[in-house]
Each structure stands twice: as C-alpha cells, then as structure tokens.
Amino acid sequence: MLLRRGLRAFSCPLSSFQCRTINSWNFSRSLGVENVLSQFKSICGEDRVSVGQAVREQHGRDESMHRCCAPDAVVFPHCVEEVSALAKLCHLYNVPMIPFGTGTGLEGGVGALEGGVCFSLRNMDKILDLHMEDFDVTVEPGVTRKTLNTYLRDTGLWFPVDPGADASLCGMAATSASGTNAVRYGTMRENVLNLEVVLADGTIIHTAGKGRRPRKTAAGYNLTNLFVGSEGTLGIITKTTLRLYGIPEAMVSAVCTFPSVQTAVDSTVQILQAGVPIARIEFLDEVMMDACNRYSSLSYPVNPTLFLEFHGSEGSLEEQVKTTEAITQSNDGSNFQWAQDAETRNRLWAARHNAWYAAQALRPGCKAYSTDVCVPLSQLPQIIVETKEDLIKNNLTGPIAGHVGDGNFHCLMVVDPNDKDELHRLHAFTDRLARRALALDGTCTGEHGVGLGKRSLLQEELGCHTIHLMQSLKYTLDPKNLMNPGKVLLPFSRESRQG
Ligand SMILES: Cc1cc2nc3c(=O)[nH]c(=O)nc-3n(C[C@H](O)[C@H](O)[C@H](O)COP(=O)(O)OP(=O)(O)OC[C@H]3O[C@@H](n4cnc5c(N)ncnc54)[C@H](O)[C@@H]3O)c2cc1C
C-alpha cells in the first residue's frame, strides 16, 4: 500500500505533486499530530522534540536570501538508532524529513517547503575512531570542522577542507563543500572515505561497507560520492569517515597586487603549470580589496590581488616561493608582502574568510547573496572581465573573491531586499552569469550546491538524459519523495522520469 501511494505521488502533475505530501502530512494530522509527536517523543525523549515557533523558524532558514520555510516540528536525535526509528515513523506517515547541520548553507537547502520534520543533528557530536597512523577519522554529524581541528591539534594532523563558515562535517559532505585549500587538498568529494546514511525508510547503510576505510577502492559503484553533494535529498548522513593530513612543517603566506584580472589569473595558471604545490591561491578584485581593507582595518593597495599560501618543509618552501615570485613579477605583480609568522598569516586569512561580512558592510541594512560558478582555468579571465562589465552596466554591487586555482569565483552580491527593481536585476544577472559559465564548459555551482535556486540551471547543465537518471536514482532511494523534497531536482512525474 505504501508503495502504491509512492507511485501515485510520482505520477501527479506539479500542483497535485506538491499537494500530495502536504495531504499526506495532513493525513497524519488527521490521525492526530499529537499521536505522531508522542511517538517521536517516545523515541528520543520529551525535551528533544520541539514545535515551538522560534525553534522551528531557526531551523527553516540558512544563511541565504531564501525566505524561511519552517518545519512543523524539530527533532534532536542522539544516535543513529534514533534517527532510523524516527525516519521509519516519518516513512509510515508520509512526513517529509529535512536534515539540518549548522544552517550555514547558501542555497536555501534547509527550508521545509512542504512542512515536515527537521532532523537537527547537533547533539550527535562525537569524534569517533581516530586512526592517526592511517590518517583518517570518523565523526558524527554534529561535529564541525573547527571542532575537529581543535581536537586534532596535538596529533600533528588536520582536516583541510575549509568553507568560510564553521560548518558541520556531514553538512559539508551533503553539499560537497570546499574552500580555500581545495587547490592542494581537494574538496569533500576527494576526502570522504565512507558514510553512514539513514535512508528514507529508516534503513541504515554504509556507502563503502561498515567500518571500511581504505585510502582507495575499486569495489563496485561509488555510492559514497552519490551521497556527497546530495543535499539531504537521498538520506540523512549520520557518520562520515574523512582523510586527514599531516600539519605541514612550515607555511608561508603572501599577498601580491596586479594591474589587471588577466595578469593575476595568468600568474595563477603559470604557477600551477610550473608544478608549484600551492596550498591556497585566492583572487580578490579591487572592489573586494577595498571592502576587506575597510572591514578588517588593513591597508592593501586597491587592485586585483592574489592571496597565496605555501605548505611544506623549510627547504621546499624556499623553492616554491622563489618560483612563484619570479612568475608573478613576469606578470607585472608588485607590492609583495610575505608572511611567515602565524599571527600575520592568520590576520591575512581572517581578512579573506571575512570577505562575506566585509561585502555586506559595504551597504549596511542590505542582504548578501553569493554566486559560485566554476569554469576551466583558461576561461577565468574572460568570465571575470565580462562579469565585472555586467555588474557595472546593471548598477549592482558585487565584489569578487575567487578560489582561482580551481577556476571557481564568487560575486558577493549585496542587495536591498525591499528594492524590487534591484532584486529583478540581481536575478537576471545571476542567471546570465551561470549561463556564461555553462557556455564556457563550466558549472553553475562549484561548491554551494543546487538547493532551490539552481534547479533549472542544473537541467541546462546536465541535459535531459542525465537528469532522468538522477530522477530514477532519487525515485529508487526515496519513492515517496520524503527526503528534503523540492531541492536539487525540479518536481517530476514518474512518466517524465521514464522519458
Ligand atoms: C560566510 C560563509 C562562507 C562560506 N564559504 C563557503 C566556501 O568557501 N565553500 C563552500 O563550499 N561553502 C561555503 N559556505 C556555505 C556552507 O558553509 C556550506 O555549504 C556547508 O557545507 C554547509 O554545512 P552546514 O552544516 O551548515 O549545512 P546546512 O546549512 O545545515 O545544510 C545544507 C544542506 O545539507 C543538508 N544536510 C545538512 N546536514 C546533513 C546531513 N547530516 N545529512 C544529509 N544532509 C544534510 C541540508 O538538508 C541542506 O540541504 C559558506 C557559508 C558562509 C555563511
């Protein structure tokens, strides 16, 4: 009977598709919300089920501009068995489930579009199974990247993936996050070895087999990377096993100014081509530099700028620094400032990590929205130059900061949410920017994910056959469409899935 309900759900046109889950949830309401809630409470305890408005609203939004969509209830499970039991109940009553990490997402991923239950995973915060000699660790979903690195400090190991915010590591897996270190250490896709996932019907699986943590594997389909970047639409991640790295013997940071975007990006390409194992190479345009100077009380020249960092032994650093300096000078780079001491390096990178807040401070009272297109490296100067022209032509504030070594950059758009005309120009601009990236063989999202706003763009990017395959996978894992419904894929019918 449940399967039949699921099939009907996927064969409905859009409007009834959307109504379906709500009706199902209403169905459970008619059974008595109190009845469902009391069953939740019997699983995880009275005080770990909340229907309070403030708690629901806090869990219905992330850091993006998407409006709050509060869930009907928030649960705070303590262990995977509780998550599984709660999921079984939601599955039985057709109640949507929305996983919540730390809410730092930028794509509206945690909004409860169709109501339902938010699974706030912050209480599952244990660091389990550290294998120092194997360079891996397993953590629960409430552990954030900074907490893990603080824990690891005395071991000589660290986890390098660093989105600007102190996000949960399972949330980072769910969004396939990356950050400034990705050029050297990769993104979450390269650094997750195994995941424990609770599926929509409450089944617990381990994507690489229970307890397994080999550095590489050729065993079957890559289910780990199916769930990395699935944004809560395929299951709830309740554990992740991560690769760790040795803390480098030495680090040097540098700042260098350029006369143009082209010369900054040319330097980046040449540094990578020269085989310099650069750890970070970040581009900031002159508008962003001005904002960072003001926000972080700095006095860097207001020009296109690269922030760089090198990791390695003392000897290898000298070599890396010499090669890089020569390359940047040959591209008219100037105002070099090298920093080896931790305090200066930290100040420099704090300024970069505060770019989001520095951009917002340009227009007090306004909201920020960050784009995150990614293109092949050689296309970067063209897209940045065209984008800057577009911003000026449309009178929009959008300082640019980019993980330039990966061809990924952000326009940190600052807009007045009450100005309809400006919002209209913003949407038109972000669509043009994404299509520009697609035309240059890139992607509409290098790291923030699809969430709500990029679902149509995803279709353009992947084409209908690939989208149909994704729909089939979603249908196989979640035939009732209960896992974070309305995200990543546009609503689809069973017929459209079959082409
Ligand atoms: C100032 C700032 C800077 C940022 N910089 C970067 C950056 O450089 N690079 C980058 O990649 N991102 C960046 N982000 C975005 C954000 O930090 C990442 O997307 C992060 O991975 C989200 O993790 P979270 O725990 O906050 O997830 P949430 O916001 O709680 O959730 C995000 C999505 O993942 C799902 N989800 C969360 N936890 C789970 C789970 N356990 N199982 C299944 N699904 C789950 C949610 O349902 C939702 O769809 C930045 C954000 C801010 C505010």
Nearest protein CA to atom 40 of ligand 1, as residue: 237
Total residue count of the chain as it appears in this document: 499
260 CA → ligand 1 middle, Å:
32
Q: What is the mean pLDDT of residues 2-18?
A: 31
Radius of gyration of the chain (CA): 23
pLDDT digits 0-9 by tens, 404-459:
999 999 999 999 999 999 999 999 999 999 999 999 999 999 999 999 999 999 99
Confidence of residue 47 (pLDDT cuts 50, 70, 90): very high
What is the pLDDT at residue 35? 76
449 CA → ligand 1 middle, Å:
9
Which atom of ligand 1 approaches the CA of 105 most closely? Answer: 29
User: How large a percentage of the chain has pLDDT more than 90?
Assistant: 84
What is the pLDDT at residue 396? 97
Which atom of ligand 1 approaches the CA of 104 most closely? Answer: 26
345 CA → ligand 1 middle, Å:
26
Where b means 16+ CB within 10 Å and e means fewer, 46-72 reads: eebbbeeeebbebbbbbbbbbeebbbb
pLDDT digits 0-9 by tens, 378-388:
999 999 999 99
- For residue 311, what are the CA distances in angstroms to 246, 256, 302, 315, 434? 11, 18, 27, 11, 33
Nearest protein CA to atom 39 of ligand 1, as residue: 171
What is the pLDDT at residue 20? 43
* pLDDT over 50 at 19, yes or no: no
Which atom of ligand 1 approaches the CA of 449 most closely? Answer: 19
Q: Can you give the pTM of this predicted structure? A: 0.92
CA atoms within 13 A on the CB side of 466: 6
Q: What is the mean pLDDT of residues 178-194?
A: 96
Confidence of residue 494 (pLDDT cuts 50, 70, 90): low
With 0-12 / 13-18 / 19 or more C-beta atoms within 10 angstroms meaning exposed / middle / buried, residue 387 is: buried
* pLDDT over 70 at 25, yes or no: no
Q: Point out which residues pair with 308 in neighbouring strands.
A: 254, 281
Would you give the DSSP letter of residue 72? S
User: What residue ranges of the chain are covered by domains with CATH 3.30.70.2740?
Assistant: 365-439
* pLDDT over 90 at 467, yes or no: yes
Would you say the C-alpha torsion 417, 420, 426, 432 has a positive or negative sign? positive
Nearest protein CA to atom 22 of ligand 1, as residue: 105
pLDDT digits 0-9 by tens, 323-360:
999 999 999 999 888 888 888 888 888 888 899 999 99
* pLDDT over 60 at 308, yes or no: yes
What is the pLDDT at residue 41? 95
Would you give the DSSP letter of residue 115? B
242 CA → ligand 1 middle, Å:
17
* pLDDT over 70 at 132, yes or no: yes
Q: Point out which residues pair with 136 in neighbouring strands.
A: 131, 243
Confidence of residue 315 (pLDDT cuts 50, 70, 90): confident
Helix axes 314-330, 261-273, angle to 10 degrees: 140
Sequence-ordered alpha helix ranges (H) in 45-133: 53-58, 80-92
pLDDT digits 0-9 by tens, 135-162:
999 999 999 999 999 999 999 999 999 9
Nearest protein CA to atom 6 of ligand 1, as residue: 163
Residues in Cβ contact with 216 at an 8 Å cutoff, skipping those fewer than 6 apart: none
What is the pLDDT at residue 341? 87
**3-state SS class at 192:** strand
Nearest protein CA to atom 37 of ligand 1, as residue: 171
| Rounded Cα distance, 255 and 253, in Å | 7
| Rounded Cα distance, 52 and 34, in Å | 14
User: For all residues of the chain together, what is the average pLDDT?
Assistant: 91
189 CA → ligand 1 middle, Å:
14
Residue 484 gets the label, from left (phi > 0), alpha (psi -120 to 50) or beta, of left
pLDDT digits 0-9 by tens, 213-226:
999 999 999 999 99
* pLDDT over 80 at 269, yes or no: yes
Nearest protein CA to atom 19 of ligand 1, as residue: 105
Nearest protein CA to atom 34 of ligand 1, as residue: 231
Pocket of ligand 1 (CB under 6 A): 62-63, 98-106, 109-110, 121, 141, 163-165, 167-168, 170-172, 174-175, 177-179, 231-232, 236-237, 356, 447-448, 484, 487
User: What residue ranges of the chain are covered by domains with CATH 3.30.70.2190?
Assistant: 250-356
397 CA → ligand 1 middle, Å:
24
Residue 156 gets the label, from left (phi > 0), alpha (psi -120 to 50) or beta, of left
Which atom of ligand 1 approaches the CA of 197 most closely? Answer: 42
Classified by CATH at the fold level, domain 365-439 comes out as Alpha-Beta Plaits (3.30.70)
104 CA → ligand 1 middle, Å:
5
Confidence of residue 7 (pLDDT cuts 50, 70, 90): very low
Would you say the C-alpha torsion 353, 305, 269, 384 has a positive or negative sign? positive
What is the pLDDT at residue 342? 86
What is the pLDDT at residue 493? 67
Nearest protein CA to atom 53 of ligand 1, as residue: 104
Q: Tell me which of 357 and 492 has the higher pLDDT.
A: 357
CATH architecture of the domain with residue range 250-356: 2-Layer Sandwich (3.30)
Ligand 1 pocket, mutate which of 98, 175, 227 (most atoms under 8 A from CB): 175
